Amino acid sequence: MGEGGAKRSQAHDGAWDSAFYRFAEGVRTLSGGAVNYKILYAMVGMNGRYVNHVNAIVRKRTAAAFSRLIHSSRYADDFREAYRADDTVFASAATELIARLRQNAHLDDRELMDALLLLLREGLARGLANERAAGRADVNLARLENETAALATWCATSRVAGHVPLEELAASLFHIVAFGHLDERFARTLLAATPDDVPSAAEAPVALGSPRTDAACLFRVGETRTAPLSGAWRIDAARPFTIGRYTDCDAIESDPYVSRVHCRIWQADGSWYVEDAGSAHGTRVVRGETPGDSVEVFDSAAQDSPVFKLSFGDRIVLAGRITYWFRSLDESGLGD
């Protein structure tokens, strides 16, 4: 097989071994066959009325459509359509799914949570990686890895506190299957408050503990208040965190004004720094919680050094177009 044929085959295989396929297979196994892909699809209101239609021709055509769907990434468009029409649909589907799993999986809640987290790490993540390889450009694997780790930590923390968040976890799985990432409104609660949640320094909540020195977190600031964030990452002191257009950067951008490796964030002697990596359009740092109080404290194009010492709460602006919000992790353990 020639190189072109091999690439087409790889893309085809990835499209058919999708996150939805792995999600459906994992749930079917957990439920002992009681919840299959048709039922999952019906849970979010997509063509559920046709699953057991009285008309044999409709049943046959629907079965063929579902057979193709389960192995492809086309489900994502349908799931996103359902969510945009009603953003409570995944929560409702999760409640129904957990009720069925409790009835059929023969696991207690803690065991069920562990099984769903395993399905996320080894099933959904692998399926989304396949879809990415097959050409689904909206899947950011670095972001998925960070959000998966944050979600697992949140589940473990909740369990220690006496709450097993099965419905919330299941709703997150539905959202990841559809969008390739967590719901923004939920993801931002896993690490720290957002710019919208902290309108001024005076109103900022008291931290749960002293600022961490071994890690920090980074939010990509969205363009609207309805989606104020479009990504969340943990930054470890052990290695630099890179932002750019290269696919091996930790945070991947598609904006053409962003350089392939635009900047790095790293730590030395307990302090955090941002370093412009020779970008064509520069890196700036803006300090201040509110627009009226914000001042630009660094512009790589105007400084002698490309390195600047960061403070928690700073906003890092790439090429004057993309903004990241640099925050601390407290000692509560969130984000580990």
CATH 2.60.200.20 segments of the chain: 201-328
Report whether 253 contacts 318 (CB < 8 A).
yes
Look up the CATH architecture of domain 201-328.
Sandwich (2.60)
**Between 148 and 69, residue with greater pLDDT:** 148
Q: Is the pLDDT of residue 240 over 80?
A: yes
Cα dist from 92 to 44, 48, 105, 232, whole Å: 8, 15, 19, 25
Look up residue 72 and give its DSSP letter: S
Q: Are 101 and 173 a contacting pair, CB within 8 Å? A: no
Q: How far apart are CA 112 and CA 257, in angstroms?
A: 45
pLDDT tens digits along 189-214: 665 433 333 333 333 333 334 456 68
Q: Specify the 3-state DSSP secondary structure of 82.
A: helix
Q: Residue 105: phi, psi to the nearest 5? A: -85, -20
Residue 324 has pLDDT above 50, yes or no: yes
Model confidence pTM above 0.85? no
Which pair of structure tokens corresponds to residue 184?
Answer: 């923004």
pLDDT greater at residue 95 or residue 132: 95
In terms of Cα–Cα distance, which of 172, 148, 219, 205 is closest to 332?
205
Q: Average pLDDT of the chain?
A: 79
pLDDT the model gives residue 70: 59
Q: Which pLDDT score, from 0 to 100, does residue 291 have?
A: 56
